[in-house]
Amino acid sequence: MQNKNGKGRDLEQVIYKTLKAEIISLVLEPGFFLQEVELCQRFEASRTPVRTVLQRLAAEGLIEIVPYKGAMVSLLDFNVVMQTIFLRKSVEAEVLLKYSKMASKMDLEDINHNLRIQCILLEKEDFKAEEFYLLDTSLHSIWFEKTGNSYIWNLLQNLEVNYTRFRLLDLVERKQFKEIYNEHIALFDYIKNQEDSKLKELISYHLDGGVRRLSSTIKNNKHYFKIEE
């Protein structure tokens, strides 16, 4: 009996992790409907673990249960995205200014190493947007962690329902990897030279980049977004 229960929990976890990853990475697009029957067939599971997973995802805000229609992948709340960007700009500017004053040669080498990997990735003919996203995220985490602000960084990363999906939409739709990489290089230069005013100005511009690049996409894909008129 315990083995059966264990297998059931394992399957439930597999379904949960798979669907959550597909929602966050936009494989399952905002507004897409998930059907219980199809999920049961896909994962070779009964309705019980599937329903439990859907309830978990709904509790996290990743899906919405729509009566008689199924479970809809939640839309991106543009208002929340903008507030998150505002919050991150305010916080990250201060974190960077602190970091630039305290960064050791080893700390700077961590950034340089990340940027080298970004460069190598961009030289490939075919790579996934998620690969660049992970490097981008790792880079920004460096100055939060080195300044003792890991808790704040983790809070920002947990805003995945809207902000993480928005960032990935930017990368998937616009594919402006080189532009983002060049901004990373400039940030690194300003950090090394402790050019505070330029650093503060660039991080604000950099974090606004998704909205700037996606302006036309937002208009053409309004069905992805929950936008307050």
C-beta of residue 62 within 8 angstroms of C-beta of residue 158: no
Beta bridge partners of 71: 34, 65
Q: Mind listing the domains of the chain with CATH numbers?
A: 2-74 (1.10.10.10), 77-226 (1.20.120.530)
**Closest of 168, 214, 133 to residue 25, by C-alpha:** 168
Rounded CA separation 178/199 (Å):
19
pTM of the model: 0.88
What is the pLDDT, as a whole number, of residue 3? 45
What is the pLDDT, as a whole number, of residue 6? 61
What is the pLDDT, as a whole number, of residue 161? 86
What is the pLDDT, as a whole number, of residue 109? 98
What is the pLDDT, as a whole number, of residue 97? 98
Beta strands in the chain (DSSP E): 33-34, 63-66, 70-73, 76-77, 225-226
In a structure prediction context, what are the per-residue pLDDT tens digits for the chain, which is 229 residues long?
A: 334 556 667 999 999 999 999 999 999 999 999 999 999 999 999 999 999 999 999 999 999 999 888 999 999 999 999 999 999 999 999 999 999 999 999 999 999 999 999 999 999 989 999 999 999 999 999 999 999 999 999 999 888 789 999 999 999 888 899 999 999 999 999 999 999 999 999 999 999 999 998 887 777 778 899 866 5
Q: Which helix (H) or strand (E) holds 198?
A: helix 196-207
Rounded CA separation 146/159 (Å):
21
C-beta of residue 71 within 8 angstroms of C-beta of residue 57: yes
**Tokens in use for 214?**
């996606």
From the centroid of its chain, how far is CA 104?
A: 28
pLDDT tens readout for residues 87-97: 999 999 999 99
C-beta of residue 111 within 8 angstroms of C-beta of residue 142: yes
Rounded CA separation 216/195 (Å):
33
From the centroid of its chain, how far is CA 228?
A: 22
Rounded CA separation 49/8 (Å):
7
Instruction: Give the pairing of strands 76-77 and 33-34.
Output: unpaired
For the chain, the average pLDDT equals 93
DSSP 13-61: HHHHHHHHHHHHTTSS-TTPEE-HHHHHHHHT--HHHHHHHHHHHHHTT
